[in-house]
Each structure stands twice: as structure tokens, then as C-alpha cells.
Amino acid sequence: MLRQAFLGILISSLIVAPSAGSEEFKKPEQLPVPSQKGASRIDQSIDDLYILCSFYPKPGTCESVYRQAMKDNSIAAQAVRAEFMNYARYLTGGTATLSESDRQYLKDNNIAVPRDLSPANQAGLHNVINDGALSADEKPMMVNSFLSRAVQAELYCGFNKCDDPREQMTTTGT
């Protein structure tokens, strides 16, 4: 059942991405990956970084990948743009809990929230609910997308042994 949920999230993350429409970048450049302590510096392909950042907004790595994906019109960049636009941009480093008005909004819109949502994801969810740029019609879809991607990131880290996602899921945006 967990594999089916993971595959469903993977497929949905690839479908929801808007197109950048930029013709100036025909082939994406390669971005360096920060080296780990004691390891030699490795340059990974942009495709490898796109895969990582499509599932988990790894601090110190994905910020530059998100910037590159915004300029890249390739199919591979679509999932990265969707991850940023629907999830990572709302993770601002805070650990706010959901307010009573947030909880009322979720209840009024029949949106279920995982019981063990991390503090970083709760803060991000609060940011989505209170995003003044979203219309009343867009907001429930964006809230559900955010929650789906929060679960996706936790599943990705469960399978790939990321840094603790409950502590590390923050980004500064592009």
C-alpha cells in the first residue's frame, strides 16, 4: 500500500507542473553538488539534481536547482518547478503551529491533515492557507497539493535516508 501511495504521488507530481516557455535554454547546465565531509567533490548531472529536488527540498542543494528549473523549458524541469511552486516556496524555516483560523479553514474545506505533520510542514501549511496571492478557488487545491508533497518528501526520505526532514525542510526561495 505504501508503494502504491508513493507511485501515486510520483505520478501526480509530474502532472501538475506549469511550463516555463523559455526558449533561451535548450540544454540545462550542470550544477555542482556540495561535497560531503571527507569525500571528493562530485559534479552530478542536472537530471540527477532534478530528481532529488522534485521529491525533497534539500537545503543547500535545491535552491540553485529551483532557480535553474525556472529558466529551463525541458520536460525534466517541470516536476522541479511544480515542487517549488506547490511546496518548497512555502517552507520558510518557521515552526509555527496551525492557528484556530487555519484549522477552521481546513475543516470548512474538508481537508484532512496528517496527524504527525512536522513543525516545518505545519508552518508551511499555515503559509499556504494565508497566502494572499491565492484566490478562494485556488487555495483548497494548493493546500491539498502542499500536503501531498509534504507526505511525498517524507516518503522519499524514508526510502533514501535524507537528513531528518522534520528538522531540515526549509528553503529560502529563488
pLDDT single digits (tens) 46-73: 788 888 888 888 888 899 999 999 999 8
Where are any strands of DSSP class E within the chain?
none
Nearest to 149 by CA among 24, 36, 14, 43: 14
> How many domains does the chain contain in total?
1
CA dist list (Å): 114 to 8, 18, 60, 100: 17, 27, 27, 17
pLDDT at 117 (0 to 100): 84
pLDDT at 173 (0 to 100): 44
Residue 88 belongs to domain spanning = 1-18+27-174
Residue 169, C-beta contacts closer than 8 angstroms, at least 6 positions apart: 56, 57, 59, 91, 118, 120, 121, 124, 153
pTM, 2 dp: 0.67
Q: What is the per-residue pLDDT across 70-102, written as a single tens digit (0 to 9) for each?
A: 999 888 899 999 999 999 999 987 767 899 999
pLDDT at 76 (0 to 100): 84
